[in-house]
Amino acid sequence: MSDVTISVPTHIPAISDLRITPQSNQRGLELQLSADDAAGDLGEAPYLWFYADCGGEPIVGALPGKVNARIVRVLFPDLRSAAPDNAPANARCSLQVRLTDKTGIESNTLKTTLELRN
């Protein structure tokens, strides 16, 4: 029998209040969410990990965010251009997001539905 080391984090970043706003000058979106991190190690540009399912092959990725006063903003690409074969002009996508702090500890996951319109 071998020994296994398990690391238990002393804190977990918590995210809430996910908002999505279209960008007027491009087809992308801005995601905005609130982040609480008791250890203060979220950093200035935490990664937002996402999973988007628009009915075809799911799109999975990570994008750098910007933190200002506990609000994280991320410019999110147009899912139609990220996977043009998978997302029709008008689609309903299931979206899941989470953050990681500088030490790699993951937050909770937020889920929402995103409407893609021409």
SS3 80: helix
Give residue 23's domain range: 14-116
Q: What is the pLDDT of residue 111?
A: 96
Per-residue pLDDT of the chain (118 residues; tens, 9 = 90+): 788 887 777 778 999 999 988 766 666 789 999 999 888 888 888 999 999 988 778 889 999 999 998 899 999 877 766 555 555 566 788 999 999 988 888 999 999 998 776 6
Please, where are the H alpha helices in the chain? 79-82
pLDDT at residue 71 in the model: 92
What is the pLDDT at residue 26? 61
Structural domain count, the chain: 1
Residues forming a β-bridge with 100 = 47, 106
Asked if the structure places residue 6 within a domain, the reply is no
Whether 5 maps to a domain, the answer reads: no
Q: The CATH number of the domain where 107 resides is what?
A: 2.60.40.10
